[in-house]
A and B are shown apart, each in its own frame.
Chain A
Amino acid sequence: MATQAIIAIGIFLVTYAFIISEKLHRTIVAMFGGILMILFGVIDQEQAVHHIDFNTLGLLIGMMILVAITAQTGVFKYMAIRAAKAAKGDPLRILIYLSLITAAASAFLDNVTTVLLIVPVTFSIARQLQVNPLPYLISEIIASNVGGTATLIGDPPNIMIGSSVPELDFMAFLTNLAPVVIVIMIVTVFCFALIYRKDLKTTPELKTKIMSLNELDEITDSKLLKKSLTVLGLTIVGFMLHGMLHLESATIALTGAFLLLLITGEHYLEEAISKVEWTTIFFFVGLFVLVSGLVETGVIAKLAAEAINLTGGDAMKTSFLILWLSAIASAFVDNIPFVATMIPMIKEMGALGITNLEPLWWSLALGACLGGNGTLIGASANVIVAGLAAKEGHHISFVGFLKVAFPLMIMSIILSHAYIFLRYFF
């Protein structure tokens, strides 16, 4: 193996170890790893810039701006209170409805954003009912990761896959992933009801209090709400048509974001831009450069060849290997760097003779997104909610979460395994 390849592997492994250890902020580590690839001459700056996927970054930034403005209208609180009233104040039914809302919202918004919007109103509803908020929070974490799996824009792994494979447009993600995600969500919600049915009890008086809430008072700016929902709706239609229109998904998201800023006025600009999670954006930049070192030195091609040797080049076996490997890996390490490494490897598998790569891409998406549910550190939404809960005096323990979430994650991967077999190989 060439010296440059050994240096690239060394930098990659050390960077990865630091990301997993969480001793330093993952963005600093990823950026530093990427910069080391250039400083050690593994790649030059031009190659590094060439490997940064601006479609992924543009899509993330556009959606973050759109959500930052829409969140100011109070529409998410309105929806949660409507759901609580539709459940007639029954705590278990509220848990089911909030989980479904979280899953649906996560399909179109970033998971972290979704949980940040739903968690405050969840605390509020749980307090009104005088029930423990933890079952709600755990269900919302799991629902956000399941829901985010359904679309191209729902979860970072899907955004990255969609950006790297132009033929996999929004509708391709929706038609290939949404059916199995709906089945997984139905089974998951049924399991939530079984697990938490004894924990969530309240009095008729407190149910009446929920029914007397005025959800309309949650809408803080109805003019802004109309504008935001119109632009958000147009953006989603744009995503559905972006393949036909030959436009990248980032173009659609950024058009939506800046159209909304155009019609709402510049006073929203500063706040909307400040709410973009720039640490996440730079994390992606660092990872793209880091992985490019492995691509340019031929390490990824070698790994792909080894994987094909292991499965004999059989597309079905390779799909299942990717599905389970992604799920287990994503349960314990950040799925974003994992997917960043897997994407060039699957592309290389195409060059090495696997003709139909589509099942491999769906296996990666399902494994990486759903695998995040395995442990409390498996996905960003899990870590964020656990942090918020702890701050408010409700500790979600690693083992406590594992006991509920890991079996549900395995169940979701078994369902995905069956789906991939039936849909693509039967």
Chain B
Amino acid sequence: MVAYTFDQSLIEIQETENENDVTFSIEVKSEDMRNRLKQIRSYFEDNKDYTDAFFYSRQGGSYEVIVRKDAVIPFLVQAFRFRCLESLQWK
């Protein structure tokens, strides 16, 4: 189990657990944060695993990321790496 925190003035993240995956509903509040999210997306789209994380960009500017359960930790690590998260720790 991992816990994470983020700067709510820059990004809002909501997590919903499904049967085989976890859905992250993400609202970005600055262009800088949007670019960081795009870097995470680019990482997962270039890694040759086509079903680890699906990124959906919504018309209102929000995002939905559906992450396969075995890819949740790598996703959060990349989110921390690109500074979408402020902290990430084992719980």
Contact = CB atoms under 8 A, between A and B. Distances in A.
B40 interface: no
A356 interface: no
Interface in A117-153: 119-120, 123-124, 127-128
Nearest to B34: A217
B45 A120 contact: yes
B73 to A, nearest CB: 19
Interface string A188-217: 000000000000000000000100111001
Contacts of A218: 57
B51 A217 contact: no
Interface string B55-68: 11111110010100
Describe A's contact surface by its main secondary structure: helix
B56 A123 contact: no
Interface in A377-425: 388, 391-393
Ranked 9 nearest A-B pairs via Cβ: A217-B57, A392-B51, A214-B57, A120-B50, A214-B59, A124-B54, A123-B50, A212-B58, A127-B54
Nearest to A389: B50
23 contacts: A123-B50, A123-B54, A124-B54, A124-B55, A124-B56, A127-B54, A128-B54, A128-B56, A209-B64, A212-B58, A212-B59, A212-B60, A213-B56, A214-B57, A214-B59, A217-B57, A220-B38, A388-B50, A391-B49, A391-B50, A392-B49, A392-B50, A393-B51
Which of the four size classes fits the interface of chain A? 10 to 19
A213 B51 contact: no
Contacts of B60: 212
A128 B54 CA distance: 9
Contacts of A220: 38
Given A123-B51, A214-B59, A214-B61, 6 more contacts: A120-B45, A123-B54, A124-B56, A128-B66, A209-B64, A391-B49
Contact of B57 (A123, A213, A393): A213
A127 B51 contact: yes
A218 B61 CA distance: 12
Contacts, number: 38
Contacts of B55: 124
B22 to A, nearest CB: 13
A262 to B, nearest CB: 26
Contacts of A388: 50
Contacts of B66: 127-128
A136 to B, nearest CB: 13
- Interface centre among A213, A214, A220, A393, by most chain B C-beta atoms within 10 angstroms, is A214
Contacts of A128: 54, 56, 66
A213 B54 contact: no
Contacts of A392: 49-51
Contacts of B51: 123, 127, 392-393
B16 to A, nearest CB: 13
Contacts of A393: 51
B59 A213 contact: yes
A123 B61 CA distance: 22
Nearest to B66: A127
A392 B21 CA distance: 14
Contacts of B56: 124, 128, 209, 213
B35 to A, nearest CB: 11
Nearest to B57: A217
Of A119, A128, A217, A218, chain B has the most CB atoms within 10 Å of the CB of A217
Nearest to B64: A209
B31 to A, nearest CB: 13
